[in-house]
Structure 1
Amino acid sequence: MSIILSMHSWNQYNEILKTDMHFCMDWKSITFDWNRARAFLVTAEEGSLAAAARSMGMTQPTLGRQVAALEREIGFDLFTRRGRGLELTPNGIKLLEHVRLMGHAANQFSLSASGKSDAIEGDVSITASELFSTFLLSPVIKNLRELEPGIEIKIFSTNEERNLNRREADIAIRSVRPTQPELIAKRLCRVRGYLYIAKSYLQQLGNPPSIDELNKANYIDTDNSGRLMELLNSQGLSLSKKNFPVISNSHIVQWELVKRGVAISATIEAIGDNEPLVERISISDLPLVTIDLWLVTHNELRTNRRIRRVFDFLVSEFSDYQQ
């Protein structure tokens, strides 16, 4: 592939070879190959050879040979393997900044020649809980798609935690701040949870229901652990397992059962207060639960423009939820 690069980018590449790195060969003997540099750039941005190969439309062995050839040529390792992904070495981090400038110059040349705009394109995968994905994330993704039509979003709606270190998702929305040093976490928002009951069920219990009536009511939990029962009893109720005749591990199914008047359950106020079929039950003046939500990504993915764009957009969109 023949391509014209700016002298500024080429000079920066030479400077890093002369000053920032220590090679086992003379830097002047290096013959620059943009295909190898691009293979390194995309691999660094995608975080793995498999993802980079898909992005570049080539086989993983071919891409791996190009990266290995560049490492042999410059005389040091660019990556170390971590699980299923790759982590940049300190020298790789230094080189990446300069190769990215070269990539930008190459991209600008290509866009200028084809008359296209400098759009951000590619896949970004987000994982979040069922409720959050359905009710809070969906309208935000609609806004994002209108602003960035080149970014294709993959949403993994699950209450199970996907492993960002293994690249099972690019961005995660979690209720617990991660402790792994390789993950970046930013507090996204704070949500409050309350009990909600269908208006049809509320008529049976009395409006407002007394503590005695609430102690006789039916509730829904996600499992048989008794966590919701313990939480409600700590708020002044006296419930037993007989009060939980329905169990569902799906929060969406739970919410549908609540709306149909089958039983009572808890959800966050942004969902419950906007549903006309239900009403909030206040056992006390305080929320039943308050949770900080965290936006999490892998630290290497800061080098990826589209993931950084989505990450920053989510932070901005949920700024109204900050408390």
Structure 2
Amino acid sequence: MNWNAISFDWNQVRAFLATVEEGSLSAAAQALGQSQPTLGRQISALETSLGVVLFERVGRGLEITPSGLELLDHVRAMGEAAGRISLAASGRSQVIEGQVRISASDVWGAHILPPILHQLRDTAPGIEVEVVATSALSDLRRREADIAIRHVRPTEAELITRHVRDSTAGIYASPRWIARHGRPTCADDLNDACFIGFGTDERLITGLNSIGLSLTRQNFKLISESGVVAWEMVRHGLGIGVMMDEVAQTTPDVERILPDLPPFEVPIWLTTHRELHTSRRIRLVYDLLASALSGSLPASQISR
């Protein structure tokens, strides 16, 4: 369809653009100072005049259609032009504001994200960040978070995923534990040791055994769903733990044991939903996270 050949009602266009950028009719209505029914009628009128469907309802939310995405490039240019006129008239600078929810493990939330959030606050002080600290996989499609940092590649086709990099993890203990139990010199020395578990993930046991250990669930006498709690148990000498090397290197009172064992590879995936294409604040945070975690990556490494 030739969008440029169609005459738009700017109020209808503005209602469409606000709904895309705010993520819901209610938020768009609040941003524009209108009632939600009025905004809904404007979008319906725009759909009628164009003869296309711009949004589909998914659960309680709205999802932009391919026709809506095609229209978006044109109306966004119109909106930016209108914004430039307004800014020129008022002398104000453009700001990016609003909430972005980042889902990450509590270890990441405590040790990795804080310096990145400092940079984000300097770059876009109008953005409000909520860190959803959980080891569970937040469902981005249900808007439990806007961006997720994961160690397993997401398989949902509608998500946008970037492989940021591969980190490494090793086996760590505190000097207190070593003084009490002796310094291990080979993998067999750990077969009767007490390990600190993160949840009940069998992959940890499988991974440790793959590098030469012979562990069972009986080795895991202390378990916590919280990675931060489990790591503190290691730091206080209650057992042995596995941790990302970049976290361990900044943690006092721990040291790597059996450093000649192969390290664990820890893939890092940065994931968001399709709103990355439509929300400037989510795009800004997503790009800043990717840059901070890995350096700039070419656009070809972003996959659908």
Structure 1 length as normaliser, TM-score?
0.83
Q: 1:253 to 1:64 in 2, by over 3 A?
A: same
**In the TM superposition, what is the alpha-carbon distance from 1:228 to its structure 2 partner?**
2.8
Contact 2:193/2:239 (CA < 8 Å) preserved in 1? Answer: yes
| Whole-Å separation in 1 of the counterparts to 2:274 and 2:233 | 40
Q: Name structure 1 gaps, 5 residues minimum.
A: 1-14, 19-26
Q: 1:59 to 1:301 in 2, by over 3 A?
A: farther
Contact 1:235/1:283 (CA < 8 Å) preserved in 2? Answer: no
Give the structure 2 partner of residue 95 of structure 1: 71
Report whether the alignment pairs 1:105 with 2:81: yes
Give the structure 2 partner of residue 4 of structure 1: none
Report whether the alignment pairs 1:146 with 2:140: no
Contact 1:224/1:247 (CA < 8 Å) preserved in 2? Answer: yes
Q: Which amino acid aligns with 2:146?
A: D
Give the structure 2 partner of residue 268 of structure 1: 244
Say which one has the larger Rg.
1
Report whether the alignment pairs 1:302 with 2:282: no
Q: 1:238 to 1:187 in 2, by over 3 A?
A: closer
Contact 1:47/1:301 (CA < 8 Å) preserved in 2? Answer: no
| Whole-Å separation in 1 of the counterparts to 2:295 and 2:184 | 31
Give the structure 1 partner of residue 266 of structure 2: 291
Give the structure 1 partner of residue 3 of structure 2: 16
Alpha-carbon displacement from aligned partner over 1:222-279 (angstroms, at most 9, x marks no partner): 2345443333233323334332211111111101111111111111001012212100
Question: What is the CA RMSD across the aligned residues, in angstroms?
Answer: 2.5
Aligned residues: percent identity? 47
Give secondary structure in 2 for the equivalent of 1:132: helix
Give the structure 2 partner of residue 81 of structure 1: 57
Q: 1:321 to 1:299 in 2, by over 3 A?
A: closer
Q: 1:55 to 1:218 in 2, by over 3 A?
A: farther
Report whether the alignment pairs 1:204 with 2:180: yes
Contact 1:48/1:84 (CA < 8 Å) preserved in 2? Answer: no
**In the TM superposition, what is the alpha-carbon distance from 1:50 to its structure 2 partner?**
4.0
Contact 2:211/2:262 (CA < 8 Å) preserved in 1? Answer: no
Give the structure 1 partner of residue 287 of structure 2: 312
Alpha-carbon displacement from aligned partner over 1:191-240 (angstroms, at most 9, x marks no partner): 11111101111112223455454223211112345443333233323334
Contact 1:127/1:155 (CA < 8 Å) preserved in 2? Answer: yes
When structure 1 is superposed on structure 2, of 297-306 and 210-219 the one drifting more is 210-219
Give the alignment of 1:121-270 within 5 angstroms: 121-224=97-200, 226-270=202-246
Give secondary structure in 2 for the equivalent of 1:37: helix
| Whole-Å separation in 1 of the counterparts to 2:276 and 2:41 | 23
**In the TM superposition, what is the alpha-carbon distance from 1:59 to its structure 2 partner?**
4.6
Q: 1:179 to 1:277 in 2, by over 3 A?
A: same
Q: 1:321 to 1:110 in 2, by over 3 A?
A: closer
Q: 1:230 to 1:35 in 2, by over 3 A?
A: same
